[in-house]
Amino acid sequence: MNYRAAALACAVWLAGCATALPPVPPTPAPAFTLEPFETDADCATLCIRRVSSRRIPKWRKLEFDLVTPIRADNPFDPNQIEIDVRFTSPQGDVVEVPAYFYSHERQQGWRARFSPTAEGEWRAQPLLRKPFAFAGEPVAFQVSPPLPGSHGFLRVDRRNPRYLAFDDGTPFFAIGLNLAWWKDDPIADYRRWFDALRANGANTARIWMAPQSFSLEWRDTPLGDYTARMDRAHSLDQVFEMAEARGIYIQLTLLDYSQFSLNVYPLWRENPYNAANGGPCARPRDFATDPAARALFKRRLRYIAARWAYSTHLLAWEWWNEVDFTEMVETELLRRWIEEMTAELRAHDPYRHLVTTSYSVPGDPHIWNMPEIDVVQRHEYIGEDARWFSPVGGGRAFFQHMKEVAHKPVVIGEFAATFTLEQPNALTREGVQFHNGLWAAPFNGFASTAMYWWWDTLVEPAGLWSHYRGLSAFLRGEDLARYAPTAIVVTPEQDAIALGLRAPDRVLVWLRNRAYNMDEGAYQYGVQIATGQAKEHTFRFVPRRLDAVTLELEALGAGRHRVQWFDTVSGALLSASDVAVSDGKLIVRAPPFNRDLAAKVTPAGGAPGPH
């Protein structure tokens, strides 16, 4: 019997069963009434009534209020009324974006959002497509140079397709976690979480348009009519605004498997697409094949793109959360659906935001290799040592399943010690798995940290936000697209493990005590509780101190090298020294440590980094 594994299972098994999805909160009846528009006297058909600014920096949101006397029973149905805005750049390029119908409290009307991508004078012209064609009078606006710190939209890095970068070439590494839905209040909760991320140097959140959060359709709405969920759309507007103000980038998940699952957290019986509820689908897989279902979802995509595609802080659209728990997982069925829906989304998203999807397992190489998928995603719930991420040096090769996958950025979209409920206890409150996932991912060539799942039950209650600070400080100013994983020899090998990233002029090192993992923590916990050395509330996991660890790595050239050691939680510089090269090798002695350390190695006299 594996006593350590048993101890770990007992330690992290907190609830005894998987946690259920939060119930869908009741949605109050809309506070507005559908009253006639107050139109401008000279606007008989369609016009732009207001522009948020006549002068806007490049890549910043511009908002237009449009007015028309034309009414529709369902303004969310483009077959009844369809309004676009055509934007003409100074170079004569034409971009069209859909307008969207909004309502909040007693205000309602038509709006369009746009983020200009070139400097100079632009023109915006409102276009009525249905119920008949009409072109309104254009208005002009001026686009000035971008604000400091504004870099454009996120793309796959042209220099290294395993990483992300902005339009202007500035590199981006995603540091963050899941914030899929709110707990009590969407605005207060996301403001608090975003503030914690910003304060500790993190920059990414994965947020769901799920039934219990921002989905535009569910059991409280007719299909294709989002009136009853305009309060959620308004909240998502505010979430994007808060993210933009705090430098947070959102991976927006459009569909969750539970809505179309018959077995895992099954909510199909509540889904309005279900024929039992009046929808067009007799079973979940019909969502991918039924013409009416596909048309209704395309309508939803048009609205989503119209309202939120403008944002430079939209990291990526994610089609499915863990599609393998649905009937849509069949390769050919899913491939056709992704092709069709991506074409529809991109028709309304002129910024061509990145697209991803996810599985609970490694996934399907045929799907990952689709040109419609820009970013590969992996979810991992493991209590074992996170060092197995490593494609170099021991453990299970995390990239094994990537051998058949085209070179694309890979993000770890979900990560945790267990898929059952995690709350602060003697082991989890130390954040061992949380911390190791943050550091293991970048040192193995991923485009993100391992984004933890239990944000509301563990990360916030245990105050683990500060763990982001050390990694953020360490990577500040570093361009990971220049690096590749490199092997480092550790002595004594049984005591520590080191992962390295090498660029032409520097090496980054993460050195970790092999005992700093959940398995060893559970073993120590079991021993100390059984022998009376500690109680639940007094146990602290402190691995044995290592005093004589040395590293051997390939030198960056002849001469002396500067070695700087950093604390992995605070980011503070612990020590610095110069080391001589011997036979092309660099032998580095690590400072004493219990958990882990990080180091930067540069030629002596070279730039040591921003620290």
Every domain of the chain with CATH number 3.20.20.80 lies at 152-480
Specify the pLDDT at position 557: 87
Specify the pLDDT at position 600: 98
Q: Which of 27-36, 258-267, 298-307, 529-538 has the lowest mean pLDDT?
A: 27-36
Tell me which residue has tokens 């849509």: 328
Specify the pLDDT at position 220: 94
| Mean pLDDT score, 498-510 | 96
Residue 317 has pLDDT above 90, yes or no: yes
Share of the chain above pLDDT 70, in %: 89
Query: In the CATH hierarchy, which fold is given to the domain comprising 47-144?
Result: Immunoglobulin-like (2.60.40)
Specify the pLDDT at position 42: 60
**Separation between Cα atoms, residue 571 and residue 568, nearest integer Å:** 5
**Separation between Cα atoms, residue 294 and residue 342, nearest integer Å:** 12
| Mean pLDDT score, 489-510 | 96
**Separation between Cα atoms, residue 249 and residue 299, nearest integer Å:** 25
Specify the pLDDT at position 400: 54
Specify the pLDDT at position 444: 86
172, 140, 132, 176: which is closest to 62 by C-alpha?
140
- Residue 611 — pLDDT band, cuts 50, 70, 90? very low
Every domain of the chain with CATH number 2.60.40.10 lies at 47-144
Specify the pLDDT at position 3: 32
**Separation between Cα atoms, residue 164 and residue 315, nearest integer Å:** 10
Which class does domain 489-603 fall in?
Answer: mainly beta
- Residues in CB range of 9: below 8 A, 6 or more apart: 383
**Separation between Cα atoms, residue 183 and residue 327, nearest integer Å:** 30
* Contact by Cβ (8 Å): 174, 164: yes
The separation between the first and the last C-alpha atoms of the chain, rounded to the nearest angstrom, is 48
CATH for the stretch 152-480: 3.20.20.80
| Mean pLDDT score, 523-551 | 91
* Contact by Cβ (8 Å): 350, 306: no
**Separation between Cα atoms, residue 352 and residue 154, nearest integer Å:** 9
Specify the pLDDT at position 609: 46
- Residue 494 — pLDDT band, cuts 50, 70, 90? very high
**Separation between Cα atoms, residue 464 and residue 359, nearest integer Å:** 26
Residue 519 has pLDDT above 60, yes or no: yes
Q: What is the mean pLDDT of the chain?
A: 89
Specify the pLDDT at position 29: 32
Q: pTM to 2 decimals?
A: 0.91
Amino acid found at 424? P
Tens of pLDDT, residue by residue over 24-67, are 333 333 332 223 333 344 688 999 999 999 999 999 999 999 99
Eight-state DSSP code of residue 459: I
pLDDT: which is higher, 522 or 229: 229
**Separation between Cα atoms, residue 311 and residue 475, nearest integer Å:** 25
Tens of pLDDT, residue by residue over 100-112, are 999 998 899 999 9
CA angle 608, 592, 450 (to 5 degrees): 65
Tell me which residue has tokens 């069209």: 96
Q: Which of 251-255, 396-400, 429-433, 561-565 has the lowest mean pLDDT?
A: 396-400
Specify the pLDDT at position 183: 94
Tens of pLDDT, residue by residue over 373-405, are 999 998 988 877 765 554 443 334 445 555 567
Every domain of the chain with CATH number 2.60.40.1180 lies at 489-603
